[in-house]
Each structure stands twice: as structure tokens, then as C-alpha cells.
Amino acid sequence: MAASDKSAGGRIYLARNRKALHDYNVVEKIEAGIQLLGTEVKVVRAGETSLSGSYAQIDKDNQVYVCHITIPPYDFGNRFNHDSLRTRKLLLHKNEIRRLKAFVEQKGNTLIPLSIYLVRGKVKIELGVCKGKNQVDKRETIRRRDADREASRAMSNAYKR
């Protein structure tokens, strides 16, 4: 696996949407399966996926689809290789879809894919119910992160002496 990093819970992260965490406040996170073709699974496992600009939507049949996830064509594929920007179905229970639909119907909420990872060999996607940040909130987040970084540096320097 090329661009993966492990974390607690047996997850091997293959792609993350860092821009989403900068542009949105995450209200709730939910894990979903994703319907992929064989060549898509090989490319995702290689870590060549991009989540920037992607979003999820619920259609009138109460099915959840994710749009604009870039999964490039498989290098060793043949003429039946997959389309890189096709919409892909997410696998969720009906109760989860109803709950997500209630969240999205509230003003300002949207569904954003936050990361793609492996759990026991299965490709999963972490979906976030997000609320957009304005420019002041983004600056505040950056200011808070810089203050935390400075505090941790000061603490580490104090323990070195």
C-alpha cells in the first residue's frame, strides 16, 4: 500500500479529505460501504484516490450516492476499465439514510466524504454531516491550531532541559 497510514481500530487510511475539515464543521460522522468495481478496488488500495471536491447526495428513491471522487483508471486494465468520475452508490441501512436525510434537509448541512479506508480488507468511506464555515471561523481554527502547536513546543522544550 502506497499512501496509507494505520490508526487505532484496525483502519488503514487510503485517502483523506483535508480540505473538507478546513472548509466545514463536522456535525456527525458515519461509516458506509461503497460499491466499487474490481479495477476501482485495486486503484483505491494503491492509494491513488482523490476526495477533493467530492460530495454525497440522497436521491428521491432514498439511495445515497457519492459524486466526484476521482479514482483514476487501472494501469493494467483493459477496454472494460472504469470511468474515473462516475457516481458510486453508498451502502447504508434505511434508518441511517432517513437520519442523514433529516440532517441534510436542515438549512446549511451537506454530506461530505472525509476519508476512505480499509477495515478487515473491505473498503469503507467515512461520511460527514457538515455545516459550512465562514471566513472568520476558518481564521479562528488556524489561530487555535497554531496556539496548540506553540504550547506543545514549549512543553517539549521545557522537558528537554
For residue 13, the domain's CATH number is: 2.40.280.10
Task: Please count the other Cβ atoms lying within 10 Å of the Cβ belonging to residue 17.
Answer: 22
Which residues span the domain enclosing 92?
5-133
Q: What is the pLDDT of residues 132-158, one digit of tens each?
A: 877 777 788 888 889 999 998 888 888
Kindly tell me if the per-residue pLDDT of 27 is higher than 50: yes
Residue 146 forms part of a structural domain: no
Largest CA distance in the chain: 63
Residue 117 forms part of a structural domain: yes
- The one-letter code for the residue type at 108 is G
Q: What is the pLDDT of residues 89-129, one digit of tens each?
A: 999 999 999 999 999 998 888 999 999 999 998 999 999 99
For residue 1, what pLDDT band results from cuts at 50, 70 and 90? very low
Residue 154 forms part of a structural domain: no
Residue 30 forms part of a structural domain: yes
Residue 72 forms part of a structural domain: yes
Residue 152 forms part of a structural domain: no
CA 130 to chain centre: 11
| Sign of the alpha-carbon dihedral angle for 24, 55, 122, 59 | positive
Residue 149 forms part of a structural domain: no
Structural domain total, the chain:
1
